[in-house]
Structure 1
Amino acid sequence: MTPSNPKWENAITRIGDIYQKRYESRSEFERDYNRILNSAAYSRLKHKTQVFFATNNDHVCTRIEHVNIVASIAKSIARSLGLNVELVEAIAFGHDLGHSPFGHHGERVIASIMQEEGLNNVFWHEKNSLRTVDYLETLSNYNGEHENLNLTYAVRDGIVCHCGEVDENAIKPRNEFVDLEKINKGQYMPYTWEGCVVKISDKLAYIGRDIQDATIYHFFTKDDYATLKQIAQNFTKSKIKLKEVNPTSLIYELVTDLCENSTLEDGLNFTHENFLLMNQIKQFIYDKVCMNKRLEYFHSYADLVMRTIYKVLKEYYCGADTLKALKKDTKVYTKMVVDFKKHLIKYSNVDIDYRARKKYKNKIIYDINSYADYKQAIIDYISCMTDKYIMKIYNDLITF
């Protein structure tokens, strides 16, 4: 993506203004990268699940390592193909900012709660990442005022379109300049080649690292290792000659294959053999890791934790007097009540004067007189939590 690209003006469009300096050396996409990197949502990724919940092992991947691995892979591909590395980096660092606590299972729990509560919004982490960068994350400007991130269209688009299956027909960017808030899950390919690169890199990142982490926790039997080895050795027609499937060799070979076989005309593409290799490894991970019974116990715990917190906060609602109701319990559930009060004040019309004193210039997204808005506020509050934080909040609820 360069200024000569016909999509350029659309790509750098922002939904709101950001402060301007007298001399700005950074590109539009580099500014987006810096804004994401300095956001609280990015910092929280270090305590959010990738695959293994609330890990205490310093060597097991959390969401922040995953994001960094995606960025590393995507930048390598972008450099090889002559794409905009700054745009790729911004999308990669922002693509999972809206991931819920407890990984994809937490995502399913929130989606289920929203359906049960009759909320119109459908929860999926790509869309919630867009909501996070558009409405929930703020940075202070030169006047100390809290403003929304107001990222460029190309970065926002890459975030909301980063998931979905990578099929054998190759990936090419779409031409339509669409309203990103109206996108349905899996509806569109990204608007830019850079977004397409991040989409593929996301898949490559987890098929490598998930095997490594599962090995640490002894998820695999001798037969499983033999199966992995056989998957690699079956592809004799492929240029990939793996004695074993490990993250370093696998990602290197697949990235090389992608770069050698991608063209403007045909799109981003793997060879047939390596596409099958990648999908077989993905299926192996799904069967042996994601569906492993050892994770079922934590699924039940995650359900209990998230639903309990939602239920408790929901009971405080009493329209314009909600803050008063919350204030009564600040000494009972100190952390949860105080933090949720701050969330309501910052993003709703419940106390306009206080917002002014705190210099909150971000968009108001909840009407305190709307019960549906209040329930959405709880959903947003929970979805921003880390594994570590939500477990602390829950323990505060059940400990005397």
Structure 2
Amino acid sequence: MNLRVEREKLEHIMLFDFATFADSTLGRNEREEKCSLRTEFQRDRDRIIHSKSFRRLKHKTQVFISPEGDHFRTRLTHTLEVSQIGRTIARSLRLNEDLVEAISLGHDLGHTPFGHSGEAVLNELKSSGFIHGEQSLKVVDFLERSDKRVGLNLTEEVRDGILNHSGKGMAKTLEGKIIKFADRIAYINHDIDDAIRAGIISSDSLPKELTKILGNTSSERINTMITGIVNKSYGKPIVEMEKEVYEATMELRQYMFKTVYMDSVVKSEEVKIKRLLTELYNYYMEDLSRIPKNHLSLYNDKVHNNEDIVSDYIAGMTDTYAMKQIKNIFIPKGWSI
């Protein structure tokens, strides 16, 4: 009895013809024997969840740096919210929910400490630039290791979705396109929630013309945005949002940039982050032997230069580890008798 085959047959019954089917995957870079229980996309999901990079997301900033409250989002909780939203959309559109889940869980594995502020610093310091989507792909292709393989050896569809989840890139699958919407829906709404909790904005300060369309609460807005995608896309080989809802969503996103992401308190923390990560970057660039041997041992090729090695190491740090390194390296230790 092969339960994977049964599941693959079930996909062809439940999903629309333009969905991405697990038994038609473009495959992996290195061929592997298939699992008797799980489809290829389910295996990818499990590999991501069990990776060290996934576990580190719980100590990486989403927007608010080193929040003292227990209820502010981290990169991990953001990832889980993206997964939930993405799976709801995929299930409603009768697309491949397993593929959506795998992409969503892996989309931010390459994110730096201190959120997009950290990404901006590395992008400035590294001569070839730094984009977290590309780094997430590098994590699953190269940086994650096990006794069996270099990287996680994920399917091409998951790799493509991870790479193209943000920016100008466009995923090849409809499931990958879902993640770009799910990511945006998640961070707009949970950042509003966190900004209200931090006292930067209030629920009453949200533009009334937008809340009239999208809703007054986080759950109402998320439901409106998801429904806008389902209404526009159901039964069609597209993933798009209704025009009115899309325009209101993008205007709300711009409101967040103006009032939250560019807030003076938030920006003042970015100055500190830039100094901290610049000091770390220069410290390791001066002498690569300062980097742990287990990280240096990954680079037994001539493809990677010193900037690659250092930026990979720093990007993999959590907020807490980065601050610990700064303390250990640059702050003198007191003597006691």
Q: TM-score range by the shorter chain?
A: 0.7 to 0.9
Q: Do structure 1's residue 128 and structure 2's residue 106 form an aligned pair?
A: no
User: In the alignment, residue 127 of structure 1 is paired with which amino acid?
Assistant: E
Match in the other structure for 1:333: none
Q: Do structure 1's residue 229 and structure 2's residue 208 form an aligned pair?
A: yes
Distance 1:207 1:147, change over 3 A: same
Deviation, 1:102, is 1.1
The CA distance in 2 between the partners of 1:56 and 1:248, in whole Å, is 25
Match in the other structure for 2:4: none
User: In the alignment, residue 253 of structure 1 is paired with which amino acid?
Assistant: T
The CA distance in 2 between the partners of 1:226 and 1:380, in whole Å, is 40
Q: Say which of 282, 287, 292 aligns to 2:253.
A: 282
Deviation, 1:215, is 0.9
Distance 1:201 1:6, change over 3 A: closer
Q: Do structure 1's residue 149 and structure 2's residue 152 form an aligned pair?
A: yes
Q: Say which of 40, 48, 52 aligns to 2:52.
A: 40
User: In the alignment, residue 340 of structure 1 is paired with which amino acid?
Assistant: P
Deviation, 1:33, is 0.3
The CA distance in 2 between the partners of 1:95 and 1:6, in whole Å, is 20
Q: Say which of 203, 221, 242 aligns to 2:184.
A: 203
Compare CA radii of gyration and give the structure with the larger one: 1
Match in the other structure for 1:29: 41
Confirm or deny: 8 A CA contact 1:14 1:152 kept in the other structure.
yes
After TM superposition, where is structure 1 displaced by more than 4 Å over at least 4 residues in a row?
Answer: 1-10, 263-266
Deviation, 1:230, is 4.1
Q: Do structure 1's residue 340 and structure 2's residue 292 form an aligned pair?
A: yes
The CA distance in 1 between the partners of 2:31 and 2:56, in whole Å, is 26
The alignment's TM-score, normalised by the length of structure 2, stands at 0.87
Match in the other structure for 1:373: 305
Deviation, 1:55, is 2.1
Confirm or deny: 8 A CA contact 1:114 1:122 kept in the other structure.
yes
1:283 alignment partner, SS class: helix
User: In the alignment, residue 136 of structure 2 is paired with which amino acid?
Assistant: S
Structure 1 segments unaligned to the other structure (5+ residues): 116-120, 165-185, 318-325, 327-336, 350-365
Identity score, percent: 33
Match in the other structure for 1:358: none
User: In the alignment, residue 118 of structure 2 is paired with which amino acid?
Assistant: G
Q: What's the RMSD between the two structures over aligned residues?
A: 2.3
User: In the alignment, residue 344 of structure 1 is paired with which amino acid?
Assistant: L
Q: Do structure 1's residue 11 and structure 2's residue 18 form an aligned pair?
A: no
Distance 1:37 1:227, change over 3 A: closer
Match in the other structure for 2:3: none
User: In the alignment, residue 280 of structure 1 is paired with which amino acid?
Assistant: E
The alignment's TM-score, normalised by the length of structure 1, stands at 0.74
Match in the other structure for 2:335: none
Deviation, 1:263, is 4.3
Deviation, 1:113, is 0.6
Deviation, 1:270, is 2.2
Confirm or deny: 8 A CA contact 1:340 1:381 kept in the other structure.
no
